[in-house]
Amino acid sequence: MRLLVAEDEAEMARFIAKGLREHSYAVDVVDNGEAALNEAYLYDYDVIILDVNLPRKDGFSVCRELRARNVTGSILLLTAFDDPEDVVCGLNCGADDYISKPFDFGVLLARIHALLRRTSRASPKVLAYCGLKLNTSDHTAWRAGRTIRLTATEYALMELFMLHPDEPLRRESIAREVWNEEFDPFSNVIDVYVNRLRNKIDSGFEQHLLHTLRNEGYILSSRNP
């Protein structure tokens, strides 16, 4: 899942992004409304967390423009206002939900999960490929009845491969989806995590599923490339 956080308070933005990344989300962060619009046009976000009081262009205007351009990702407004009229204004602009500041991160996470459940863009509960299975609700994985224990980053990487079976994934795509758009796609961190995941899902099995494509990237496939 890929999320955009549009928040001009730097400490708040870091707090939200850090928590979401720890829960296996790929997160991009911007600090003004114009940048939020640009990012939302460039990338297909599952949820956009949008502060109402943004500089350059306020959250209500951003929300309205996104919906006018048929951006379908869920929009969650962050508001410091308790006035019901502000909440009504945000929902009428096309937002799916709102949360008032200050808030507990667990509440924010629950709201995001609820939005993902309500949209058809959310991943199916269990992804399966050639005996390899991944539960997207509780982040458990197994192959041929054997449980595979995953870290948060390994889970995000495996989910990406499971959503794109038999499809070559370039390093740039992996870096953007599993980490964020500023992550260096040529960092050896990608190789380290792919190798760790490969050892977990292929070790002990005659048929290997995760393969390296020379000068291209990686692929989840039942056939040797």
So what's the pLDDT on residue 182?
A: 66
Q: How many other CB atoms sit within 10 Å of the CB of residue 224? A: 7
Of 102 and 182, which is predicted with more confidence? 102
Report the sign of the C-alpha dihedral through residues 28, 32, 37, 41, in that order.
negative
What value, to the nearest 5°, has the Cα angle with vertex 159 and ends 18 and 187? 60
Of 126 and 48, which is predicted with more confidence? 48
What contacts 24+ positions apart, CB below 8 Å, involve 186-193?
193/153, 193/154, 193/157
So what's the pLDDT on residue 181?
A: 63
pLDDT score of 15 more than 70? yes
Cis ω on the peptide bond leading into residue 124 (within 30° of 0)? no
Q: How far is CA 147 from CA 131, 143, 144, in A?
A: 12, 7, 9
So what's the pLDDT on residue 86?
A: 72
DSSP 180-224: -TTS-TT-HHHHHHHHHHHHHHHTT-SS--EEEETTTEEEE-SS-
Average pLDDT, the chain: 88
What is the set of domains in the chain, with CATH numbers? 2-118 (3.40.50.2300), 126-220 (1.10.10.10)
pLDDT score of 120 more than 60? no
pLDDT tens digits, one per residue of 198-211: 999 999 999 999 99
Cβ atoms 162, 134 nearer than 8 A: yes
Q: Pick from 7, 42, 4, 49: which is nearest to 26 by CA?
A: 4
Distance of alpha carbon 166 from alpha carbon 162, whole angstroms: 9
pLDDT tens digits, one per residue of 65-91: 999 988 888 999 998 766 677 778 888
pLDDT tens digits, one per residue of 97-112: 888 888 899 999 998 9
So what's the pLDDT on residue 27?
A: 92
Residue 32, SS3?
coil
pLDDT score of 219 more than 90? yes
So what's the pLDDT on residue 83?
A: 66
Q: Pick from 27, 179, 23: which is nearest to 109 by CA?
A: 23
CA 152 to chain centre: 12
> Which stretch of 91-100, 141-150, 200-209 has the lowest confidence by average pLDDT?
91-100
Confidence of residue 215 (pLDDT cuts 50, 70, 90): confident
> Which stretch of 30-44, 48-62, 66-80, 196-210 has the lowest confidence by average pLDDT?
66-80
pTM flag (> 0.85): no
What value, to the nearest 5°, has the Cα angle with vertex 133 and ends 129 and 139? 140
